[in-house]
Amino acid sequence: MPGTDAMRRLTVQGDDRPLWSGHDRFQDALAALVLRAVARHGAALAAYVPDFGAGVERTLSALRSLPDGPVTVIHGDLVPPNIHVDAAGRPVAVLDFGFCTTAGDPAFEAAVTAAIWDMYGPYAEEHTEELTRLFAHEFGYARATLTAYQAAYALATHDVFGADDGDGHFRWCVRQLRRNAVFRA
């Protein structure tokens, strides 16, 4: 489903302005969101993530260099509880729009889904790796594109539930950034 102008006017969780405000490309809008999130509480992340400033710059550069592509509806929170299935296991509905619902690059949706499908399980890192590999192969996305979007998601959402290591999502973002190939290149 194509992204619409109305979708471009939506805000995303943790931010107070429409994501696309002042931007014509999703990648540039996302880079601006990352900058706003880092300005809010980046110092808290920097205390836990080595070479934080350089990693932010590498992520921003990667986002800005991504090619234009299709702009579709993105959900931004595709996890098992948000996908309802019928008795045969076929998806029939998606719930809980709003966390990061906007118009955007479908590769962002794939990247985020791969990273958050099993955020807190004992095999979360392995599942992220396998889903990222699978989505790159099945959908033809460049691995570096998915990795850049995963770093951007961690940077943009690190403080939505709490801005220190007392929050599980914050700790998850720290782990993501510490192992993200674009961020720590």
Q: Which runs of consecutive H residues, i.e. helices, occur in the chain?
A: 5-8, 26-46, 52-65, 106-116, 124-139, 143-157, 168-179
- What is the distance between the alpha carbons of residues 171 and 32, in angstroms, rounded to a whole number? 23
Tokens of 15: 């931010």
**Residue 1 confidence (pLDDT) above 90:** no
Contact in structure between 158 and 41 (CB atoms under 8 Å): yes
Which positions ≥6 away from 60 have C-beta within 8 Å?
31, 34, 35
Angle between the N-to-C axes of helices 124-139 and 106-116, in degrees from 0 to 180, rounded to the nearest 10 = 150
Q: Span 162-178, mean pLDDT? A: 96
Contact in structure between 107 and 130 (CB atoms under 8 Å): no
User: How do strand 83-85 and strand 91-94 relate by DSSP bridges?
Assistant: antiparallel
Domain residue limits, the chain: 5-179
Q: Span 48-70, mean pLDDT? A: 97
Tens-digit pLDDT profile for residues 109-158: 999 999 999 999 999 999 999 999 999 999 999 999 999 999 999 999 99
Q: Span 95-114, mean pLDDT? A: 94
- What is the distance between the alpha carbons of residues 18 and 104, in angstroms, rounded to a whole number? 13
* Length of the chain counted residue by residue: 185
How does residue 162 score in pLDDT terms, banded at 50, 70 and 90?
very high
Classify 5-179 by CATH class. Answer: alpha beta
Q: State percent of the chain over pLDDT 70.
A: 100
Q: Span 24-46, mean pLDDT? A: 97
Question: Whole-model pTM?
Answer: 0.95
